[in-house]
Structure 1
Amino acid sequence: MNSNSSSLVVTASIYALLVLIWATTPLAIVWSIAEYHPMWVLIIRYFGACIIALAILAVIRNPLPFDKISLKSYVAGSLNLIGAQLFIYLAANYLTSGLMALLFGFSPLIAGLIGHVILKTHKLVALQWFGMVVAVSGLVFVFADSADSKVNPIGVVLMLISMVSYISSIFWVKQINAPLKPMSQATGSLLVSAVGSLFLIPFIWQSFPTALPSSQAMFGFLFTMILSSIVAMLCYFWLIKRLAASTVSLSNVMTPIIALVLGATLNHEHISTYTFVGVAIVMFGIVLYFWKEWKVQYFSG
């Protein structure tokens, strides 16, 4: 096997691992909060992930600067963690893991909308607008059987807030453009998030965990702390340096489908006919949204 083939296999394997982790994370969150208050789970996850991230930094000898611009970038990055993740954990009380993944698949669409309407950084074409309309129409089918699909409006609102926090964090970090290595950026953001999460303790102290969790809850917790917080982050930054953004964006089509299958298989989450049709329409809308970008990369020339 030549070096190009080996590199292709490694890249494909890392890409598949990232998609699998992202698709499994909503189910892991649902499992991890089944017995404890979600905010306690989030706090413990952040501090555990910080310890692991700092250990990795020490091994690879990456710096963790604390100058003004670096600190600002850490705060911007933490908006994705203590901001977006906080609302995802709260939403897990109202939505199935599959629907959480489906809703988060709208992140690129919302990012495009913010970039077009608010930041004026790029212009959406007619096909992208049409893709958005189709994707939103798909949600109508999901909501059509809300009682059976466990679609709670509160959970949907929490997921929307989470996505806006996640997208705002990306734009903010890019705007700051601090000269940080990916692992340093991620570790600094984790540290800020862990410290910020301490402010939640006075409101949840009465729910302090007093017993060991079940094996399923422990698996969910360890999965989110190690794989979702550390491994997925490293995979993502590794791929971003080597693949086009459009290639990485393909995960937005694959992840919700895998998450729905995992939720139904491992957590007995019911997928109604309306949900199935709605998911298909949403995925088609996302494909339409990215079609121009994918066409340029894969089918031109």
Structure 2
Amino acid sequence: MPSKVNLGMTYALLVFIWSTTPLAIVWSVSDINAFWALALRFFLALPLAIALLVLFKNTLPLDGKSLHSYLAGAFSFIGSQVFTYMATAYLSSGIIALMFGLAPIMTGLIGRFFFQVYLSRLQWLGMGIAVVGLGIICLGGSDQHVHPMGIVLMLISVFVYCASIFWVKKVNAPLQPMSQATGSIMVSALFSLCMLPFIWHLAPTSVPSAKALLGLGYAVIMASLIAMFCYFKLVQNIKATTLSLTTVLTPMLAMLFGALLNEEKLSLMVLLGAVILLSGLFVYFYKDFRANRELAHKLKH
């Protein structure tokens, strides 16, 4: 098992990458059509993922169950990201990250209504607080880069992302994390290929700006590959509740990076809504965090 320092550095790196990925996406579409930026991301990520698969001597099974799992996983990649890239026209990078912070709540709702998973009163309260925060963001962002259409697109994106997780678990193919990810990137690249006839006329006619290329490169290498390694390493070595804390940390940092590096200005009402939404997330996870802390205290003594 990796040392605590090693896991701590991995955790910090994952939070950093997830905090900066929305900004990378916004930059990548600054000079490239959103659909082309998305397609190029998977076209470039696929050979790199295959190279890493070979390097770590993992296989890429192509039986029916594995292919089904790759398709399910691809929905959390291109299925979700297509709506995220569309939302860049309506939302700042910080608000995009904030919306993805709703993933655990969306997962809870899918689990409750489709799989009869129990939710406590505190979790329902956390959801209610988060929805109030989201409403304030919509109202307070009318004169900012916060548009209701972007909120709707991001809600669809988060829903598809969460539904994909349930789908992968339902298929339950015996795959290595790297194999699952590479297969899902492969399916995403195939879907991107199918998009080309519809977006060919939107292809870049000149070399994109340095900012757009930097954003695209970051999305390919850091968000699609390195973050994937960090995530699966942490899944295997730390508690799920500890990992889920990234949901609260990431949006706050993303809004900070957006303000510092992309001059994203948010009104006080939007910031208030963000604080309320994050408070709702904290309430939603409160029991888990408390149980985790009590367990750690017992282990020390």
Whether the TM-score (by the shorter chain) exceeds 0.5 is: yes
Query: Which residue in the other structure is 2:268 paired with?
Result: 273
- Structure 1 residues 1-301: aligned runs within 5 Å: 7-120=3-116, 122-300=117-295, 301=298
Q: Distance in 2 between matches of 1:236 and 1:20?
A: 12
Q: Deviations over 1:49-87 (max 9, x none)?
A: 001000001111100010111001000000111100111
Kept after mapping to 2: 8 A contact 1:91/1:155: yes
TM-score under structure 1 length normalisation: 0.96
Specify the code of the residue in structure 2 equivalent to 1:40.
W
Kept after mapping to 2: 8 A contact 1:148/1:270: no
Q: Distance in 2 between matches of 1:141 and 1:159?
A: 16
Q: CA deviation at 1:271?
A: 1.7
Q: Deviations over 1:232-289 (max 9, x none)?
A: 0110000000011100000000000000011111101012111111111111110000
Kept after mapping to 1: 8 A contact 2:19/2:253: yes
Q: CA deviation at 1:148?
A: 2.9
Kept after mapping to 1: 8 A contact 2:138/2:148: no
Q: Deviations over 1:182-212 (max 9, x none)?
A: 0000000000110111121121111111211
Q: CA deviation at 1:15?
A: 0.3
Specify the code of the residue in structure 1 equivalent to 2:196.
I
Q: Is the partner of 1:94 in helix, strand or coil?
A: coil
Kept after mapping to 1: 8 A contact 2:105/2:127: yes
Gaps of 5+ in 1: none
Q: CA deviation at 1:140?
A: 2.2
Q: Is the partner of 2:271 in helix, strand or coil?
A: helix
Q: CA deviation at 1:149?
A: 2.7
Larger mean CA deviation between 278-287 and 145-154 belongs to: 145-154
Kept after mapping to 2: 8 A contact 1:142/1:149: no
Kept after mapping to 1: 8 A contact 2:141/2:267: no
Q: Is the partner of 1:149 in helix, strand or coil?
A: coil
The percent of aligned pairs where both chains have the same amino acid is 46
Q: Is the partner of 2:115 in helix, strand or coil?
A: coil
Specify the code of the residue in structure 2 equivalent to 1:13.
M
Larger mean CA deviation between 140-149 and 257-266 belongs to: 140-149
Kept after mapping to 2: 8 A contact 1:98/1:259: yes
Q: Aligned pairs, how many?
A: 296
Give the root-mean-square deviation of aligned CA atoms.
Answer: 1.1
Q: CA deviation at 1:141?
A: 2.0
Q: Distance in 1 between matches of 2:271 and 2:148?
A: 19
